[in-house]
Amino acid sequence: MKNLFLTISVSLLATACAHHHPGSALGNAPDHFGVKEVGSFHIGGRQVTLSGLPEKEIVFTAGAAPFKVNPNGDFEVEQMYVQYVKLHEHSRKARYPLLMWHGGGLSGVTWETKPDGKPGWQNFFLKAGHDVYVSDAVERGRASWARYPEIFKTEPFFRTKKEGWELFRLGPEGSYQTDPAKRVAYPEGTQFPVEAFEQFAKQGIPRWATNDPATQLAYDQYVQKVCPCVIMVHSQGGNFTFNAALKAPGMVKAVIAIEPSGVPGEKADLTPLIGIPHLFVWGDYLERYPLWQKITPNVDRFEQALRNQGTDVTRIDLPKTGVRGNSHMLMMDRNSDAIAQMIQDWMVAKNLSR
C-alpha cells in the first residue's frame, strides 16, 4: 500500500510539473526544460592501416630531446559525431527528434549559442519541446580528421574572414576590412550582429573537397540509427540531407532547409519524397551576389520538381514577408528567435509538434 501511495504522489507531481515546464498555463515561454539524458556518439567510418611511412622526430618543448613517432598503424577514420539532448517526457512536445545538420566550413556549433552570446536554435527547439541532435560531419570538429594525402586524398582549405563576410552576405562584396571599425555592412541594415563577427570567425573549420562520399555514407548511417526524425539543414548540408531522405524512405518525416546550397541532380528520382513536407527558408540580398545567383536557380529547380510531383512544399522568402536584412546565417541573426518561431509554427501546422 505504501508503494502504491508513493507512486500516485509522484504521478501527481509529474502532472504539476508537466504544466509548469512548458509555462503554457500562463502563456509564457518556459524558463527551463526537463532533460533525461545529454549524450553523444560517433557513427560511420572505417579502419585504415598505414605502413611504410618514415618515423618522424617530434620536439615537444624547445630545447628538449626529440621524441620519435612512428606514423604507421591502424586508425579509425571517416566517422561523424552526433550529440543529443533527450527531453524528459514532461517537456517533450515534438513527435520526432530534430536533427540539425550544418553547412560548409562549419560544425554543429552553428546551431548553438549565437556569436553575440544569445541562445541559438538548439536551445530554442529544446525549449519548444524537441529532442535535439546536433552533429559534426566527417572531417569537422569532434568528428576528427585523417592524415593526408594517405587517407584524405587532398589537402584542406581554410575560409578567410573576408570570404565568410561576403559569402554569408553580411555586407556588399569588397566591404570586408581587417580592421572591424572600417567594415561596412549593408547600409539598409543587416540582421547579423556584425560586432560579433570575430567571434563567429572562431567557429570556422578547415574542409576538404574530396570527402563528400564518406560524409554522405556517415549521414546515411546516422539516419538509420536515429530516425524517424525531422532534419533541419543549412547551406552545403542540403545535398546530404535530400540524398539521405531519398535513400531512407519513410525515415525522414520532414525537411527544413535553411538556404540550402546543394540539391540532387535533375535526373534524380524524387518520388520517395512525395509524402514528406519540405520547408525552404531564404534571407535577404541574394540578388546582389553572382555566387548566390549561380546557386539559387538550381535549388529553385529542385523545389519546383518537388511541387510538380505533389510534395507538400512551403517557401518562406523573408524579404517577401517584410522581414529584411537576414544573412546566410539566419540562425545567428538578431531576429533568429522570430524565424525559429515561424519554423516551429510550420511544424505544428504539419502535425510534427504540439
Please, which residues have CB within 8 angstroms of residue 345's CB and are 6 or more apart in sequence?
none
Distance CA 227, CA 238 (A): 17
Q: Does 81 bind a copy of itself (CB under 8 A)?
A: yes
At 308, give phi and psi (nearest 5°): -60, -30
Report yes or no: 277 and 315 within 8 Å, Cβ to Cβ.
Answer: no
Q: Residue written as cell 559525431?
A: 81
Stretch that binds a copy of itself, among 24-32, 185-193, 290-298, 343-351 (CB under 8 A): 24-32
CB of 40 to a copy of itself, least distance (A): 4
Q: 11 is written with which cell numbers?
A: 504521478
126 touching a copy of itself, by CB under 8 A: yes
In the complex, the smallest distance separating the C-beta of residue 134 from a copy of itself, rounded to whole angstroms, is 9
Please identify which residue in 8, 40, 189, 271 interacts with a copy of itself, judged by CB under 8 A: 40
Residue 344, beta-bridge partner list: none
Choosing from 8, 184, 189, 198, the residue that interacts with a copy of itself (CB under 8 A) is 198
Distant-in-sequence, close-in-space partners of 222: CB < 8 Å, separation ≥ 6: 43, 44, 80, 82, 99, 135, 244
Size of the site for a copy of itself (CB under 8 A): 85
Identified binder of a copy of itself from the candidate list 72, 304, 308, 309, rule CB under 8 A: 72
How many CA atoms are closer than 13 Å to the CA of 294, on its beta-carbon side?
Answer: 4
Q: Which amino acid is at 87?
A: L
Q: Is 163 near a copy of itself (CB under 8 A)?
A: yes
Q: Are 101 and 234 in contact (CB under 8 A)?
A: yes
Out of 29, 73, 288, 307, which residue is the one contacting a copy of itself (CB under 8 A)? 73
- Identify which range of 39-47, 225-233, 252-260, 267-275 contacts a copy of itself by CB under 8 A: 39-47
Residue 313 is given by DSSP the state E
The least CB distance from residue 306 to a copy of itself, in Å, is 24
Nearest CA to 165 out of 208, 115, 214 is that of: 115
Query: Under the criterion CB under 8 A, does residue 266 sit at the interface with a copy of itself?
Result: no
Residue 288 CB, nearest approach to a copy of itself (Å): 21
| Window 291-330: residues binding a copy of itself (CB under 8 A) | none
Asked if 247 interacts with a copy of itself (CB under 8 A), we say no
**Of 100, 83, 93, whose CA–CA distance to 130 is shortest?**
93
**Is residue 44 within 8 Å of 72, Cβ to Cβ?**
no
Among 8, 29, 184, 209, the residue binding a copy of itself under the rule CB under 8 A is 209
Which position among 22, 33, 166, 193 is part of the footprint of a copy of itself (CB under 8 A)? 33
- 74 binds a copy of itself per the rule CB under 8 A: yes
Measured in whole angstroms, how far is the alpha carbon of residue 242 from the centre of its chain? 14
